[in-house]
Amino acid sequence: MTESIGTTGLVLNEPLLWEKGRMGRTGYSLPKTDVPSAAIDDALVGEGPDFPDLSEVDVVRHYTRLSQWNFSVDAGMYPLGSCTMKYNPKTNERQAGLPGFAGAHPLFPETLCQGILELMYDLERHLAEITGMDAVSLQPAAGAQGEFSGMLLIHAYHKRNGNPRSKILVPDTAHGTNPASATLCGYKSVAVKSGAKGILTPERVGELMDEETAGIMLTNPNTLGLFENHVKAIAAIVHDKGGLVYCDGANMNALMGIVDMAAIGIDVLHLNLHKTFSTPHGGGGPGSGPICVRRHLEPFLPVPRIVKTGETFGLSEDFPESVGKLHAFFGNVGVMIKAYSYILSMGPDHLKKASQLAVLNANYVKERLKGVFHLPFDAPCMHECVFTDKHQAARKVTTLDMVKRLMDYGFHPPTVYFPLVVSGAIMIEPTETESKENLDRFVEAMTAIASEAGENPEGLKSAPTRCKVKRLDEVTAARRPCLVEPPALKGEAPR
């Protein structure tokens, strides 16, 4: 195979800042005071926090070294299924850093932040256009809150109509957090088993849907990476009983500008700007989880909402049926600016093409690896494909062993053991970011690992061997987590 990009370099150990600090060292100097000194309020006087004394270079080296232990999408391929770890274009950061945006304070009067308000207003319109929905709120902080907001709207809608209802249908291929959002709204989740082909069938939904059921929470494409073909028929069944259809848009990267969500019967949909619209996530920044709705749910959207009067933009709380406020001020505005930058940079044609390439890449990986790993659902996939460790089970090699080994080859591991409907799942989402050369390299690495599983299964048990940190004891970490520094380590020389 092509030479592995995984290697070992001079990766430096680094102690805790508390071990590094020395009394009296400083990293700042203050200008001479030019105002008379005054007494400090007694309530503010006392022991300071236990912070170490450090110089500037101490701190810079500390964080630089820590960052070198890390892996990021800027460093290499990050095929974490359902997380859409696509490249985050640097222009997004540049736009969000413009002084007019970065320096704006949320307490400014509206007249002084027309630019940001206009951007948010436009972003809402763009997201409505991309999804086919009518109205948007940018307020939810990330996907789980977006999903929760969607449930709040459904609850408010039913309540206004006289009965908030008590149950909600959640397919077994839906996103993992769905039942939690439903429970917070007082709904009991009723699991819907997917059909033999890994997608929902109208028959199953028809058997479970009744007038005590508020609706269904779909994920499309679902967590098997498969397109739910029967959404229109399922939506008709749900609507017929007065229910509503929520679509989890976590996997929208497969569908930008391709599926008209309103036309297939979706009433409310959330988006993850930090996945589909290329803003950093994970350790890289907060998320943003806008919700997009049809007209009949618009009155319930969170406040404040952005309104346009003539040529002026403002914030309005005058929506009496609103579910209220969900986030301090207006949501994670910095993330919105980056997503807006991405949408304008790409334009409608390239957004659609990005989705098409994301789907093509996943299908390419699926086709090339399907002889190597067991593929539980052999159908054209969307943005991700799901394999299992079934072929390797005879050698007692598990999904965990193989993906740990992948780090030695220079790739971030895929999502594993999810979705739960597939035993030993390996869920790969390459995104449109990766070139064919990168995908080939990834396929070669996975193929090499499958060969190792046959020839040297014991070797995989100790993987990774090239990373700074080797195989972790995940069981003890989960059973007896050590959440604070053990006192014995304090004051010891760096090991």
Which position among 32, 90, 105, 479 is part of the footprint of other proteins (CB under 8 A)? Answer: 479
Pick out residues in 399-438 that bind other proteins (CB under 8 A): 400, 416-418, 420, 423
Stretch that binds other proteins, among 8-16, 129-137, 164-172, 475-483 (CB under 8 A): 475-483
Return d(Cα 405, Cα 426) in angstroms, integer: 13
Give the Cα separation of 87 and 467 in Å (integer): 23
- Taking the complex as a whole, the smallest distance from the CB of residue 481 to other proteins amounts, in Å, to 9
> Based on CB atoms, which residue is closest to other proteins, 60 or 420?
420
Smallest gap from Cβ 398 to other proteins, in A, equals 8
* Residue 5 or 394 having the CB closest to other proteins: 394
Token readout for 149 is 């907001």
The nearest distance, CB 154 to other proteins, in angstroms, is: 23
| Range 44-103, binding other proteins (CB under 8 A) | none
> Nearest distance from residue 478's CB to other proteins, in Å?
4
**Nearest residue (CB) to other proteins, 25 versus 188:** 188
> Is position 483 an interface residue for other proteins (rule: CB under 8 A)?
no
423 Cβ partners below 8 Å, 6+ apart? 388, 390
x-or-dash string of contact with other proteins, 356-395, rule CB under 8 A: -------------------------------------x--
Q: Are 152 and 323 in contact (CB under 8 A)?
A: yes
- Nearest residue (CB) to other proteins, 416 versus 449: 416
> Least distance in Å: CB of 399 to other proteins?
9
Q: Is 190 in the site for other proteins (CB under 8 A)?
A: no
The arrangement of strands across the sheet holding 415-416 comes to 385-387, 426-428, 415-416
Our CB check for other proteins shows the closer of 131 and 194 to be 194
**Cα(359)–Cα(353) distance, rounded to whole angstroms?**
10
In this structure, the strands spanning 426-428 and 415-416 are antiparallel
**Per-residue x/- track, 445-474, other proteins (CB under 8 A):** -----------------------------x
Size of the site for other proteins (CB under 8 A): 12
Q: Given the complex with other proteins, which of 47 and 473 has the nearer CB atom?
A: 473
Asked whether the CA dihedral 244, 246, 252, 256 is positive or negative, the reply is positive
Q: How far is Cα of residue 364 from the mean position of the Cα atoms in its chain?
A: 23
Least distance to other proteins, CB of residue 423, Å: 7
Minimum distance, C-beta of residue 415 to other proteins, in the bound complex (Å): 12
Q: Which is nearer to other proteins, 121 or 417 (CB)?
A: 417
R_g of the chain, CA atoms, integer Å: 25
Closer CB to other proteins, 273 or 425, in the complex: 425
252-255 CB contacts, 8 Å cutoff, 24+ apart:
252/131, 252/276, 253/84, 253/86, 253/354, 253/355, 253/358, 253/383, 253/431, 253/432, 254/221, 254/227, 254/355, 254/358, 254/359, 254/382, 254/383, 255/220, 255/221, 255/355, 255/382
Number of Cα atoms under 13 Å in the Cβ half of residue 118: 10
Which whole-number Å values give the CA distances from 392 to 185, 287, 456, 460, in the listed order? Answer: 43, 37, 12, 12
| Cβ closest to other proteins, residue 130 vs residue 422 | 422
CB of 482 to other proteins, least distance (A): 14
Nearest distance from C-beta of residue 234 to other proteins, angstroms: 24
Under the criterion CB under 8 A, does residue 475 sit at the interface with other proteins? yes
Other CB atoms within 10 A of residue 490 CB: 10
Q: Binding residue for other proteins (CB under 8 A) from 82, 84, 332, 398?
A: 398
Strand-strand pairing, 167-171 and 213-219: parallel
Nearer CB in complex with other proteins: 364/418: 418
Reduced to 3 states, what is the DSSP secondary structure of residue 315? strand
> Which DSSP symbol is given to 458?
H
Q: Among 199, 227, 256, which Cα is nearest to 381's?
A: 227
In the complex, minimum distance from the CB of residue 419 to other proteins, in angstroms, rounded to a whole number: 10
Task: Please give the residue ranges that form the binding site for other proteins (CB under 8 A).
Answer: 393, 398, 400, 416-418, 420, 423, 474-475, 478-479
